[in-house]
Chain A
């Protein structure tokens, strides 16, 4: 426990987090890429065509992991926002704000790939069904958070306001997740279950799970990169940042 508290304080300090993130970032990206190659080889090549959907179902290997990420990243932001609002921890604000564009990107990917999947299967690019609409609302919430953050002259005020918006927006998460259960929708129900049996054969399931881990590592790599750039901006008057600036000039 003492060790946990120690690391919590240690990583809460910008220069330590900067160095820590710089070391982990290339590893996270490398793992994400390796897993993506394995997952997509399994999904696009090894897995058989679906008996109903033919090869069109192969969009699942990016659509579903992206959809999971759109919710997962929001969950991370909600935890960070809570820490930021309660303890005014600077690092938590950075994590919450720098996650938002990545979450928005995954939500956008989910909507577009879903649309590309919907056209051949449902005969339409878009329908105002509960799952699709709530995912679109999630995209608007992400964009609202980014907009609110940038609307303030003082960035810490902006981050604080945006953190409150994050916490309010949490109500949308269960709506997205349970939309296929609560309403009659065109969207298919849950295929993969953590508890109990999944409605999918193993040769299709394992690439999906590998892609899920790949996108998680990608998120870590991207977040570390964005947080590092943001910390340099946030602390640009401090000695440690000036040191980095002059060191990089000397090297180039």
Chain B
């Protein structure tokens, strides 16, 4: 079963995934159309910012068992077996926010859902792009990411690749890029971290 695997060390903070997610959950399905829709579509993935200014793509993990599902009193959250995605039945959601309280990652927000006929603020979470995937497409956030921070793959395949990377970095030290030479994003990340440290009152 394929999952979206996040590699935060690859995130450049461009927030293209947020835009693509909102468009994928819009009525028009285009960026130009989505920005003019009266019920504005919202992203389900969020780029947070770490203590040293580093970006962090924060996305629903579709946990199993899922704390949000366990906390959902009306039973609005359910598992879609084919993709393993944890989805929301909008008709059952009573906006009690119990799911958001239970979620350890803070990835559930509350918005009016433009794809629903009824105007109603309800829980708003990643649906793993189940609709796109029925048409053979990968999740929109993955498609948008040009830096390799979001991968769509079998979990164990990604982790096998990660094992190879870790093994290489054991040979070359913590900066394994290009056999020891830091890449541009590593230099920029370190520079950003220095700015944050310099900005802290002594």
- A and B associate in one complex: no
